[in-house]
Structure 1
Amino acid sequence: MIVFYALSWFLVFGLFALWSLAAWAVHAVAMWSVSNAGALTGVTSGVDGLRLPEWLSPWVPPEIAQTMTSLLSSFAPVVESLLQTAPALTGGLSMVIWVIWGLGSALLVLLGAGLHLLIAMWHRRGGGSGPQPASQVLA
């Protein structure tokens, strides 16, 4: 019966290791992305040069193409300001990622406790009884 307890906790600790690795990887990628977002300023200035491909131009009315170009160019300053302020978000992003990691870890511990209780209940109901006495075997 102890094997079932060991297997369930081994599963929980394995999931915990994978969860921790995933949280660490997401944190590393997010921090790298946010810290390098400031280097992308000036990229949005290329929006003015966006045009429809030549093969698509006959199928799209010129008014729609002009409206889409003006809409994209009006979003350029907003995107530029977001990229400039992104490095300031690193502290909050780090806290959010690790709070989510903590909640997931707590759920994994609860899963382990639930499996432990489930195995104990199964053992008490007779599902995990050991060898039967000789009097029951002969009957």
Structure 2
Amino acid sequence: MTKMRIIVLPIMLSLMAPVSAFACAVRRPPHDPSKTPSDLIIEGRAGRIESEGNRSFNATTIRVDKVWLGSTQLKSVRLSWPTAPMMCPPEQPPKSSSRLMIYLREENNELVPIGWLFVNKTPNRLAIEAANDMARYRASIDKSK
């Protein structure tokens, strides 16, 4: 029985490594607002980047400067993302003082960030609303199937 454990353990460990590497290779690309409907879209500037959760996550507070879609009384939004090697961190994490558009969805009466995009130039409100309408349309088609 002991010999069996000694042989099986390295085999199991060798099988786990490629799976996690593959999972990181096929992670989601940057957020596509036309594929996931949002309940609230805000624009703001990222604060200082901080480590949390045994340094396996980074987080920042986004000060709400403008509400593009929906309505809120929030003054800031907390945004966190994984940084540990096996957790597939985002390709473009926010940097301190970068301008971001945060896409949020309401789940269980709580606003949850579902993605972000960097703001390089002033966005067009009609384009934002059209992308969100397209996402809602796609979601309704998927539900009807």
Q: TM-score, normalised by structure 1?
A: 0.27
Looking at secondary structure, tell me which structure has more strand per residue: 2
Larger Rg: 1
Higher RCO structure, 1 or 2 (CA under 8 Å, sep 6+): 1
Looking at secondary structure, tell me which structure has more helix per residue: 1
Q: TM-score, normalised by structure 2?
A: 0.26
